[in-house]
Chain A
Amino acid sequence: MNHAEKTFETRELSISMGPQHPATHGVLRLVLTLDGETVVKCTPHVGYLHRGIEKLGENRTYFAALPLTDRLDYISSMNNNVGYVNAVEKLFGIEAPERAKFIRTMVAEMGRISSHIIWLGTHVLDIGATTPFLYAFRERERIIDLFEALCGARLTVSYPRVGGVRNDISQEFLDELYAFVLEFPDRMDDYETLVTENRIWKKRTVGIGVISPEEAINWGLTGGMLRGSGVNYDVRKHAPYDAYDRVEFDVPLGKNGDCYDRYLVRMGEMRQANRIIKQCIEKLPAGPVMADSPKFTLPPKEMILKDMEHLIHQFVLITKGPAAPEGEIYSATEVPKGELGFYFVSDGAGKPYRMRVRAPSFVHASVLPRLCEGGFVADVIANIGTIDIVLGECDR
């Protein structure tokens, strides 16, 4: 130890990162205690986007709460809708027609691609690569344009409905989507060329934020976070919903549980999502897109305009809500971020007595101290990117 080191005295520094920090992807605030460049303690503060969606859901009919779920994870609202309608259908005990199930699977995978592509763009941007971000938005824009052609909305879609989907899809839509599907693997190759073997990228992500499989399960991680550690758990495989048991796809797994493996897993998931969409288009069966169970689903609009019975029916369903059977269910779906679960307690009324949203982002935000403590400040940014959270879902 030389003289200069002896005379300097260091002390810990406490800084607040966020809630307006651009690298926190929303309004996440971290209070970091630093010893030089090393993070000694990390305390996440969430709740800036808390809108009381659970409370609001308990005071609305099952139909009227659907648009609220758009606002959970607002960059993949389609997946939230699919999760919600699956839960409600399970509670009501109705089943969507085959065609609707395939359409839902298809649009959910489109949502997965658009969400993962934003994650890719922002994650690499945080670490310093600007180029993929610009290209990523090109692909996302195409998917969003397709959503617009499908249902008129770009972000908050509310397209899947209890008992099916809002409207049937057109041949033009399918043609355009098919063209996208054929093109997409090449685009993925482009991204992989830019990022996967990039030396700076590997330096910043390999061995960063390592979490072992046992620990990942113990923390309740799901989605890419869990599979990056090599645990084969995917709701689409474990408890298939919609048409996932009729399409072929693999579940990409990581080995080391670090940021780089999670990156590889999500890249693999995008390719698999593309594969699922392709199969859905090819296998799409003909038939209705709405279940025929008048007690629980809204009648078609053209019938409401023509027929008195249907008009009365719609009126009762909208004002009072469909009377759900008494009981409680938990239903989970695999959204881009992880496992999104809905827990409903029904007392037989037209509104849920208790509606609970199990948000993957909430759980993933809670693991941040575990990932960041002991590492460098710069790695905090990599860790925030890798957990892939959306604060709208985290805070609900």
Chain B
Amino acid sequence: MKPLEIADKITEKFPDEVLDVREFREQVSVTLKKDRILEICRYLHDDPDLCFDYLVDICGADYEGKKEKRFEVVYHLYSIERCHAIRLKAEVTETKPEIASVTNIWAGAGWHERECYDMFGIAFSGNSDLRRILMPEDWEGYPLRKDYPVEGTEREWPGFEAVLDRANRFKKFDWQG
């Protein structure tokens, strides 16, 4: 199926949810409201004509100051059986960065959602294991947000200070033979 036809099908089924359909280089992105994302994904996964069995990727994007709603959660879907692809984008606000998890549909979503939570601070309700994944558990801030400095924050990570502290203490050790 052509990507635009898929977008039409989604618009037909969920007319109130689709905000925007855009095509660029033969790839189509469908921008959605976040509230019924689980239902839409379930429909895309189960419908025999669409059959999106393979979740390629979930990632976040930060449009600070560029869009009204700051975050977007981007889903890349592909159907191995039908060989077609679509991109879904769900808008998430800064004040309530939360969206439903799709782990019940695609088991592989779990870690992608954790990474998105780790990097952008978007919570996925329904993900049973929502912890930081790449950064340490006690890290402050969300590194991939646009207001997070590339060179890192001024304050060192407490865990690193503890390691430095210990290293300095070991240096003072006097070997008595």
By the criterion of a CB under 8 Å from any partner CB, how many residues of chain A are at the interface? 41
Interface residues of A in 349-366 (CB under 8 A from B): 354, 356, 358, 362-363, 365-366
Q: Which one of A54, A93, A218, A327 contacts B108 once the chains associate, using CB atoms below 8 Å? A: A218
Within the complex, the shortest CB–CB distance from B67 to chain A, in Å, comes to: 11
- Minimal beta-carbon separation of B121 from chain A (angstroms): 15
Knowing A328-B29, A330-B27 touch, does A54 contact B134 (C-beta < 8 A)?
no
- Known A-B contacts A52-B143, A55-B144, A218-B107; A341 and B134 likewise in contact (beta carbons under 8 Å): no
Q: Which residues of A contact B43 (CB under 8 A)?
A: none
Instruction: Report, nearest first, the 8 A-B pairs whose CB atoms are least far apart.
Output: A220-B108, A327-B24, A47-B134, A366-B111, A358-B57, A50-B134, A219-B108, A356-B59
24 A-B interface contacts by CB (under 8 A): A47-B132, A47-B133, A50-B134, A54-B144, A55-B150, A59-B150, A215-B107, A217-B54, A219-B107, A219-B108, A220-B54, A220-B106, A327-B25, A329-B27, A330-B76, A330-B85, A332-B56, A341-B56, A347-B66, A358-B56, A358-B59, A366-B111, A367-B108, A396-B134
List, in ascending order, chain A residues with CB within 8 A of B53's CB. 217-218
Q: Is B97 an interface residue (CB 8 A)?
A: no
Docked-complex contact B74 and A362, CB < 8 angstroms: no
A356, closest chain B residue (CB): B59
A93: which B residues are within 8 A, CB to CB? Answer: 25
**A147 adjacent to chain B (CB < 8 Å):** no
- A329 x B110 contact (CB < 8 A): no
B108 contacts which chain A residues (CB < 8 A)? 218-221, 363, 366-367
Chain A residues, Cβ within 8 Å of B54: 217, 220, 233
B87 at the interface (CB under 8 A from A): yes
Residues of A within 8 A of B119 (CB): 54
Q: Is the CB of A328 within 8 A of B56?
A: no
A343: Cβ under 8 A from any B Cβ: yes
For the complex, give the distance between the alpha carbons of A47 and B136 in Å.
Answer: 8
Interfacial residues, chain B to chain A (CB-CB below 8 A): 24-25, 27, 29, 53-57, 59, 61-62, 66, 74, 76, 80, 83, 85, 87, 106-112, 115, 119, 132-136, 143-144, 148, 150
Chain B residues with Cβ below 8 Å from A347 are: 66
Tell me whether A182 is interfacial, beta carbon within 8 Å.
Answer: no
Judge if A46 is at the interface, Cβ distance under 8 Å. Answer: yes
With a cutoff of 8 Å between Cβ atoms, the chain A residues found around residue B106 in the complex are 218-220
Provide the main secondary structure of the chain B interface: mixed
Query: Complex Cα distance A221/B24, Å?
Result: 27
Q: Which residues of A contact B80 (CB under 8 A)?
A: 217, 231, 233
Shortest C-beta distance, A310 to chain B (Å), equals 29
Distance A345 CA – B134 CA, assembled complex (angstroms): 22
* A56 at interface, CB cutoff 8 A: yes
Report the separation of the CA atoms of residues A108 and B115 in the bound assembly, to the nearest whole angstrom. Answer: 29
Q: With an 8 A cutoff between CB atoms, is A238 at the interface?
A: yes
Residue of B55, B85, B133, B136 with highest tally of chain A CB at under 10 A = B133
Which of B56, B61, B115, B144 is in CB contact (< 8 Å) with A345?
B61
Question: Given known contacts A46-B134, A54-B144, A329-B25, is B111 in contact with A362 (CB within 8 Å)?
Answer: yes
Taking CB atoms and an 8 Å cut-off, the chain A residues in 211-239 that contact chain B are 215, 217-221, 231, 233, 238
Q: Which of B27, B29, B54, B133 has the most CB of A within 10 A?
A: B54
